[in-house]
Structure 1
Amino acid sequence: MDAEWVVVPTDYGIEVGQVLGRPVVIKMPVKAVPPKVERLASTHEIELYYRNLDREKDARDICAERVRALGLSMKLVRVESFFDGSKVVFYYSAEGRVDFRELVKDLVKTLRTRVEMRQIGIRHETKMIGGIGSCGREFCCTSFFQGFDPVSIKMAKTQNLPLNPNKISGICGRLLCCLTYEYGTYLELAKGMPLLGKPCDTPAGQGKVVRRDTLSQTVTVLLPDNTQIEFKNSELEQHRLQQKEKPKSSATDKRKQKQIKTDKRITYSQKQKRSGSKPGMEKKRQEHSTVSKDNADRPKDRTKEKNLKIKEKNRRNKG
């Protein structure tokens, strides 16, 4: 059974296409809803579809010839004609801005319709041309991609992929779009795992993380004796919890000891208040009384010395 032709509404009017597969139920959330089929295409509409294909081919040849004649530094990628023939869109790529005013004038005179020039990037160019990726399947951007998500080298690092440009780059020369597919899953699994190259406390002692496998949830640690041991992340988490509990108990003991000392100080100060003296005053009083006694005894000693001197003087005078 031949594939049926249908009419599908788009942003640029109606388009005619062929059904390539049976209807399927989309269970996963999608960013863009596929266009709905409006109705089956008539024989006239199918003929008009093929006529537009021939028109697009002729317009491409004419445009390529005029680009060479005008010496414009631009690469013609694709030509699309509206289904009703009201406009022809030329997609091209270039390193900078191109002055194509003369080109548009020539195309309008030749094609006798409205002409639009659209500059696209290298990724859109690859999407329009199509091809087979290193995985052996059709380009994602050509088959089902509705748009392009930003891709960074951090995504490759997070997924422990080799940072070889030939391995993580597509035909377009940019980073593979598929690097975004599992990036969120890797971020979720990596939560709670020790970082690569950072110190890590393990049941076997303190070490340094030299390798970690996010999917298998394992961490390889280099110990001070140059031995490498692989631990499950759950084991390291359990060990960290045990280590956290120990400092808490010792901190509690310290707080208790501090509280006991504080209570003792309060009790001592209360006793001093009841006795009507301040801490250290009793000792000062004792020292003061001792000094006073010494000072009181000193005049008596001086009087004795004076009397002895007088007696000695009188004895000499008598002799």
Structure 2
Amino acid sequence: MPMMCAVAFQRHGRLYYADPGALSPQVGDQVLFPTQDGNEVAEVVWPPEFVGEEVGTLPVLAGAATAPDIAAAETARSRRASARVAARRLIREHGLPMKVSGVDHVSATNVTTVYFTAPQRVDFRALVRDLSATMDGKVELRQLSARDEARLTGGIGSCGRELCCSTFLVDFEPVSVRMAKDQNLPANPMRISGACGRLMCCLKYEHPLYEQFAAAAPGVGAEVETPDGTGRVVRHDVPREQVVVRMSADGRTSACALASVCGSRKAFEARSQGGAAPEDMTS
């Protein structure tokens, strides 16, 4: 059975999952996490645990961080801070419409990467030359999208928790307004947009449940039979797996469990068209 732990390069930052290998690190320990630029010092935020399902191929921790590794990480952190200050100063001097979102520095190759956002494409060739001379090393500039900026800078969502993209999301999956409509959410952009200004990624989390419920439940307006009598569906309560029905006898509404109302939407469609009631229907 495989083991897995989680590390973060910054306190309260995004989680990266790894195979602990021969290590048994505890929360707060400094370890070496393999990256494309070499091993980086990271802090363990989730100790090794056995996982009962297949999680795919995970990077294996290179070992515990030594004093020189931690010193090199502190030097890189200082270089990142200096590069951020220098980049902001030079951007003002060059009069470029850019906003610095983050800075990364790889000590092994002496390469500094500046991440920025801008309303359009920017000619930053002169900026790169001046910044390279200031930092005495190679400098790369990379423009970010709105979602990538939110992932890099982090923040708090409308739910009161840290942004999903800055903690555990690996890839951005397509999100549409249709998902919000299927979940009976208001079409107000202020209510369904995230910190990046785009549709919230979490709209996709529960959407499959709403699709499954819609496939199994009678549609709004359909006539159904419930333990309380015959009525017409007025709305769905997906989190509670209930169908709200307005009774034909007295006009009152009753929330009924889905299992007590119908077997499937196809069964109700067949019944409404005059077909025989399927065996799986309950009265």
Q: TM tier, shorter chain?
A: 0.7 to 0.9
Are residues 50 and 160 of structure 1, via their aligned partners in 2, closer, same or farther at CA, if it must alter by over 3 Å? same
Structure 2 partner of 1:5:
30
Structure 1 partner of 2:12:
none
Structure 1 partner of 2:43:
18
Structure 2 partner of 1:73:
97
Instruction: Tell me the amino acid that sits aligned with residue 81 of structure 1.
Output: H
Asked whether 1:98 is paired with 2:129, we answer: no
How big is the alpha-carbon RMSD for the aligned residues of Structure 1 and Structure 2?
2.9
Kept in 2: contact 1:220–1:228 (CA 8 A): no
Structure 2 partner of 1:186:
210
Q: What secondary structure is seen at the aligned counterpart in 2 of 1:244? A: coil
Map 1:11-50 onto structure 2 (within 5 A): 11-27=36-52, 35-50=59-74
How far apart, in 2, do the equivalents of 1:26 and 1:145 lie?
19
How far apart, in 2, do the equivalents of 1:46 and 1:88 lie?
19
How far apart, in 2, do the equivalents of 1:92 and 1:44 lie?
31
* Range that drifts further, 158-167 or 4-13: 158-167
* Range that drifts further, 217-226 or 144-153: 217-226
**Greater per-residue strand proportion:** 2
How far apart, in 1, do the equivalents of 2:53 and 2:180 lie?
24
Q: Larger Cα Rg: Structure 1 or Structure 2?
A: 1
Are residues 237 and 5 of structure 1, via their aligned partners in 2, closer, same or farther at CA, if it must alter by over 3 Å? closer
Q: CA deviation at 1:89?
A: 0.7
How far apart, in 2, do the equivalents of 1:70 and 1:186 lie?
51
Kept in 2: contact 1:8–1:38 (CA 8 A): yes
Sequence identity percentage: 35
Q: CA deviation at 1:115?
A: 1.5
Q: What secondary structure is seen at the aligned counterpart in 1 of 2:32? A: strand
Instruction: Tell me the amino acid that sits aligned with residue 275 of structure 2.
Output: K
Structure 2 partner of 1:159:
183
Kept in 2: contact 1:210–1:222 (CA 8 A): yes
Asked whether 1:57 is paired with 2:81, we answer: yes
Match of 2:160 among 101, 118, 136: 136
Structure 1 partner of 2:281:
none
Structure 2 partner of 1:114:
138
Structure 1 partner of 2:16:
none
Instruction: Tell me the amino acid that sits aligned with residue 144 of structure 1.
Output: F
* Range that drifts further, 112-121 or 88-97: 112-121
Q: CA deviation at 1:228?
A: 5.6
* Range that drifts further, 121-130 or 232-241: 232-241
Q: What secondary structure is seen at the aligned counterpart in 1 of 2:216? A: coil
Structure 1 length as normaliser, TM-score? Answer: 0.66
Asked whether 1:245 is paired with 2:270, we answer: no
Kept in 2: contact 1:14–1:83 (CA 8 A): no
Q: CA deviation at 1:105?
A: 1.2
Kept in 2: contact 1:200–1:221 (CA 8 A): no
Q: CA deviation at 1:34?
A: 5.0
How many matched pairs? 242
Structure 2 partner of 1:202:
224
Q: What secondary structure is seen at the aligned counterpart in 2 of 1:146? A: coil
Are residues 224 and 19 of structure 1, via their aligned partners in 2, closer, same or farther at CA, if it must alter by over 3 Å? closer
Instruction: Tell me the amino acid that sits aligned with residue 235 of structure 2.
Output: R
Structure 2 partner of 1:289:
none
CA distances 1:188-226 after superposition (whole Å, capped 9, x unpaired): 222132333xx523347785x431223444334568899
CA distances 1:83-123 after superposition (whole Å, capped 9, x unpaired): 41431111001111000011111122222322211111112
How far apart, in 1, do the equivalents of 2:85 and 2:147 lie?
23
Mark the runs of 5 or more structure 1 residues left unpaired by the alignment.
Answer: 247-319
Mark the runs of 5 or more structure 2 residues left unpaired by the alignment.
Answer: 1-25, 278-283
* Range that drifts further, 222-231 or 107-116: 222-231
Kept in 2: contact 1:13–1:83 (CA 8 A): no
Structure 2 length as normaliser, TM-score? Answer: 0.74
Structure 1 partner of 2:8:
none
Are residues 56 and 137 of structure 1, via their aligned partners in 2, closer, same or farther at CA, if it must alter by over 3 Å? same
